[in-house]
C-alpha cells in the first residue's frame, strides 16, 4: 500500500537561489504546546533616582583628579572599600583626601534628598522651636558665618543644612581647597577637611539614630551602610575624625569596620607572586 506523500513547503534560500523542499513541521510540535502558559514578563525594576550632586569638583576629562576618581571607583568595585583606602603610588595624599571627602558629602546629600529626610526631620520637630529638652547640635561658627546670629545650638535639620552649605562655601575658598584641576594645597586644607568631616559624622549619627527606618523603607539601607563605611574608612585612616567621636554608634562602627578578607590584587589580576 502506497502512503501519500506529505505536502512540501518551498522555502527560499538566502541570495535568491533554488528553493529547498521541506515538509511542514506543525505535525511535529508537542501536543502540550497549546496548553503551555505564556511566560510572565519580569517586573520592571524601578531605577534609583539620579544622584543630585552637592559638588562636582570632578576635574577636566583626562586630568589627574578625573583619573584618580575613576581609579578609586574601580578599586572599590574590584577590591572592596577595605582594600581601596591607600592613595596610589605617586599620588599626593591631600589630593586623595580631597576626592574622597567631596564624594562623602555627595553621598550623604544624595541620600538626604532622595529619602526626603529634611522634611521628615522638620516634621518630627514640629512648628515650635527646640527647647532645653530637645536634641540640638552646637555649631562651631565659620569665619564667614553671619556675626549677627547668636544662637548656635541648632535643631538637627538646620545643622545638616548648614553643614552642606558650609562645605560648599569652603570648596570655593582657595585658602582651603585648591582649583579642581590642580594647584598646591593650602595650609588650611587639612584643618578644613577635619572640621567638615566632624560635622558630616554628626549628620550620619543623627540619621542612624532618628531616620534609619525611613531610609530602610525607601530601600536605601544597604546603600547607606556602604556609603557610611566608605566615609569612615577614609576618615579614620587619614585622621579626619577622632575614633572617640564614634562613641554614640560604636557598635555600628565596629560592625561596619570589622576586618574582611584581604584581596590580593596581583592574584585577582592573574599574576603570580
H helices of the chain, where?
A: 64-79, 93-115, 117-125, 156-172, 189-210, 212-217, 221-237, 250-256, 265-268
Q: What are phi and psi of 9, to 5 degrees?
A: -115, 130
Nearest CA among 167, 164, 238 for reference residue 203: 164
pLDDT for 189 equals 97
Checking phi first, is residue 149 left (phi over 0); if not, alpha (psi -120 to 50) or beta?
beta
pLDDT of residue 2: 53
CA angle 163, 184, 104 (to 5 degrees): 30
Is residue 176 within 8 Å of 86, Cβ to Cβ? no
With a cut of 70, which residues of the chain have pLDDT below it? 1-54, 58, 127-134, 144, 146-151, 260-273
When computed from its CA atoms, the radius of gyration of the chain, rounded to whole angstroms, is 29
Residue 229 is predicted with a pLDDT of 94
pLDDT of residue 149: 58
* Model pLDDT, residue 127: 64
Give pLDDT, residue 152: 77
Please tell me the predicted confidence (pLDDT) of residue 5. Answer: 55
- C-alpha–C-alpha distance, residues 227 and 243, integer Å: 18
Amino acid at each position: 500500500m502506497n502512503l501519500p506523500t506529505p505536502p512540501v513547503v518551498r522555502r527560499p534560500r538566502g541570495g535568491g537561489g533554488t528553493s529547498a523542499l521541506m515538509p511542514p513541521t506543525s505535525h511535529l510540535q508537542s501536543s502540550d504546546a497549546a496548553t503551555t502558559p505564556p511566560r510572565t514578563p519580569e517586573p520592571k525594576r524601578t531605577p534609583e533616582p539620579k544622584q543630585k550632586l552637592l559638588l562636582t569638583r570632578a576635574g577636566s576629562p583626562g586630568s589627574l583628579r578625573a583619573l584618580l576618581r575613576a581609579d578609586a571607583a574601580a578599586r572599590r568595585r574590584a577590591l572592596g572599600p577595605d582594600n581601596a583606602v591607600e592613595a596610589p603610588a605617586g599620588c599626593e595624599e591631600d589630593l586623595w583626601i580631597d576626592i574622597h571627602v567631596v564624594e562623602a558629602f555627595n553621598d550623604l546629600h544624595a541620600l538626604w534628598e532622595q529619602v526626603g529626610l529634611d522634611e521628615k526631620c522638620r516634621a518630627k520637630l514640629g512648628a515650635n522651636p527646640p527647647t532645653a529638652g530637645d536634641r540640638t547640635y552646637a555649631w562651631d561658627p565659620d569665619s564667614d558665618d553671619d556675626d549677627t546670629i547668636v544662637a548656635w545650638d541648632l535643631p538637627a535639620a538646620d545643622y545638616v543644612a548648614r553643614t552642606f552649605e558650609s562645605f560648599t562655601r569652603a570648596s570655593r575658598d582657595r585658602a582651603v581647597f585648591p582649583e579642581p584641576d590642580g594647584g598646591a594645597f593650602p595650609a588650611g586644607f587639612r584643618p578644613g577637611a577635619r572640621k567638615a568631616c566632624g560635622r558630616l559624622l554628626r549628620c550620619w549619627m543623627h540619621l542612624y539614630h532618628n531616620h534609619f527606618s525611613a531610609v530602610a523603607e525607601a530601600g536605601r539601607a544597604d546603600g547607606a551602610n556602604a556609603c557610611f563605611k566608605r566615609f569612615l574608612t577614609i576618615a579614620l585612616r587619614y585622621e579626619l575624625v577622632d575614633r572617640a567621636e564614634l562613641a554614640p554608634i560604636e557598635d555600628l562602627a565596629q560592625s561596619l569596620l570589622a576586618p574582611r578578607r584581604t584581596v590580593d590584587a596581583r592574584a585577582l589580576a592573574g599574576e603570580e607572586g
